[in-house]
Structure 1
Amino acid sequence: MKALQALRHYVAEHKYAINAKQLGDPAELPWSNLGYWDESSSSYPQACQQLAAQLAEAVKLKSTDRLLDLGCGQGASLVFWQQHYQLQQPAAVELQTRCVANVQRHLPTLSSIHQHSFLKLAELAFQHPFDVVLCIDAAYHCNIQTFLTSVSTVLAASGRLGFHCLIWSEQAQRLSALQKQKYRWLLKAADINTDHLMTTCALQQTLQRYDLLDIEITDLSRPVLLGFSRYFQQLVPHGKGLDAFKIRMTAQLCSQLYADGWVQYVQVSAKKHHLAAV
């Protein structure tokens, strides 16, 4: 019984985090996203950094912005914002206890990191709204409407939002009931609910209902899904244990999603519309 409880605790602690060392990032504050893989990508940390940089550029992140990093994971993004964008004190929200403790251990001067769900941001009662809210490679685990409702409570007037999510492609309209059920089971194993996936049009309309304009939805399926699956094939050895199994399953899922073409991995950026007082 104790062994089963320990396993459950281990799985819960690693629900979203990935063993970065097995992927090639031995840093004390490692990355934990799928990465953006192109011709210049020579390592896992570099690809992860490129995915973060793509999102930052989409929202035109600058040093004077008040930034909230949602699902900051093991903390590499927080170092990245400080070193490459000269942000002094980015705020962060992360659900996993071990990740928050690791960030606090290695970034003791970072005062604003909260162990909390980013779907309940109103409960944190931040003193000031944020100019930029970013969520790297994590929002596809939740209902986007719930995510946007939460973000709307902390995003400043004219604030910018950037995140990654999965959407149905146009090809998915031809899926049979059996194929949809297959994808429901397939993605459920990765803690993704297919009922929450939208089409491009539906996603754009949803963003607009939250007074978000200047919307850009960019398909990153090839550099992210195909890129990560190809990188995994190059890893030698692949590692052992539950962490290695999770990485292998993630790579196989990425490969299948890209090959089928029914689900796309997209980058989303938008700006909150500031309504002038009448």
Structure 2
Amino acid sequence: MFQALQAKLLPHKYAINTAMLGDQHLLAWSNLGLWQAGDDYRHACQALAIHLANLIDLNSNDILLDLACGQGASLQLWQNSYKIQHISAVELQAKHVTQLKNHALFLNSILCDSFLNLNSNSFSQKFSAVLCIDAAYHVNLNSFLNAITQVMQPQGRLAFHSLMLSEEFLNLKAWQQKKYAYLLKAADVNLKDLMTQNELHSSIMQHGFQELLIQDLSEGVLLGFADYIQHANLDLQGLDGFKIAMTAKMCRKLWQDGLVRYVAVAAF
């Protein structure tokens, strides 16, 4: 019922009211954030992006592709802090793409499409670095990797956030797993697409990568976002506010149970 109502009233299922969360900039952040005590929303979101970029040693020589770039705060970060000269992006929400074409003139190119639809003809050049902040867990990992590897250079580096099943999750009864499936579906995550660490490792290596790094960020992301929403005295009104509150509730549930982990993944 909530998903049907959301589809009618929100411009896109991934739309989020970033101003309500605390970022009123034109090129705003829109992720769960990597939180430390005293952080505001913008700082936590930037911290999540920086952590991911640093896992692959992002640098000024890179030809970078930013997947699901949202309203563009990450693109501005890559240009200003990492001094990257060649930046391309993919974003599904047409409203954001139009805004970025008008206000992020430093971009080499931006594609309005799902990152699952990428192929060798999507861009004029291939990328040495590909980043996907807080979005890849919405799709099947193998489909994601099949698309992304087509636009990467042979020695390219990839970093993304994912949700990973703990081994304990596999011991749950069928009805308990089904409860998780419904919980995750409300956030547009298909439980059947999630993997354990061993499965994640195997899938990534099968796509030609030689090295893999997985870091568990559950406390800083899931608990951090939930605590921020609980204590920040935000004015969570209407459907936008309800969506934010429900996201925070789900984050706290995942953190408390510890069966689904929020991880950063880097593949080389």
Same fold (TM over 0.5): yes
- Note if 1:249 corresponds to 2:239: no
Q: Which amino acid aligns with 2:26?
A: E
Displacement after TM superposition at 1:8 (Å):
3.9
Q: Which amino acid aligns with 2:226?
A: S
Displacement after TM superposition at 1:7 (Å):
7.0
Q: Using a 3 Å threshold, how does the CA distance of structure 1 residues 45 and 7 change in structure 2: closer, same or farther?
A: closer
Q: Which amino acid aligns with 2:35?
A: W
**Percent of pairs with identical residues:** 47
Q: Using a 3 Å threshold, how does the CA distance of structure 1 residues 22 and 33 change in structure 2: closer, same or farther?
A: same
1:223 alignment partner in structure 2: 220
8 Å contact 1:59–1:160 — kept in the other structure?
A: yes
- Note if 1:107 corresponds to 2:95: no
- Note if 1:155 corresponds to 2:157: no
Q: Which amino acid aligns with 1:94?
A: E
8 Å contact 1:89–1:112 — kept in the other structure?
A: no
Counterpart of 1:18 (choices 16, 19, 22) is 16
**CA–CA distance in structure 1, aligned partners of residues 5 and 257 of structure 2:** 37
8 Å contact 2:6–2:239 — kept in the other structure?
A: no
8 Å contact 2:90–2:114 — kept in the other structure?
A: yes
Counterpart of 2:123 (choices 110, 114, 126) is 126
Q: Using a 3 Å threshold, how does the CA distance of structure 1 residues 109 and 132 change in structure 2: closer, same or farther?
A: closer
Question: Secondary structure in 1 aligned to 2:90?
Answer: strand
**CA–CA distance in structure 1, aligned partners of residues 213 and 234 of structure 2:** 39
Q: Which runs of 4+ in 1 moved over 3 A?
A: 5-10
Counterpart of 2:25 (choices 27, 30, 33) is 27
Displacement after TM superposition at 1:170 (Å):
1.9
Displacement after TM superposition at 1:111 (Å):
4.0
8 Å contact 1:71–1:118 — kept in the other structure?
A: yes
**CA–CA distance in structure 1, aligned partners of residues 15 and 165 of structure 2:** 25
Q: Which amino acid aligns with 2:60?
A: S
**CA–CA distance in structure 2, aligned partners of residues 173 and 9 of structure 1:** 36
8 Å contact 1:134–1:161 — kept in the other structure?
A: yes
In the superposition, the TM-score normalised over structure 1's length comes to 0.92
8 Å contact 1:71–1:136 — kept in the other structure?
A: yes
In the TM superposition, what are the counterparts of 1:54-203 in structure 2 within 5 Å? 54-122=51-119, 124-203=121-200
- Note if 1:233 corresponds to 2:220: no
Displacement after TM superposition at 1:18 (Å):
1.4
8 Å contact 2:7–2:13 — kept in the other structure?
A: no
8 Å contact 1:20–1:32 — kept in the other structure?
A: yes
1:275 alignment partner in structure 2: none
Unaligned runs of 5+ in 2: none
In the superposition, the TM-score normalised over structure 2's length comes to 0.95
**CA–CA distance in structure 2, aligned partners of residues 139 and 236 of structure 1:** 30
The one-character-per-residue Cα deviations of 1:209-245 (angstroms, maximum 9, x if unpaired) are: 0011220011100000000000001122332111111
1:274 alignment partner in structure 2: none
Question: Secondary structure in 1 aligned to 2:143?
Answer: helix
The one-character-per-residue Cα deviations of 1:76-124 (angstroms, maximum 9, x if unpaired) are: 0000100110012310000011111121222134240110110011175
Question: Secondary structure in 2 aligned to 1:267?
Answer: strand
Task: State the superposition RMSD in angstroms.
Answer: 1.6
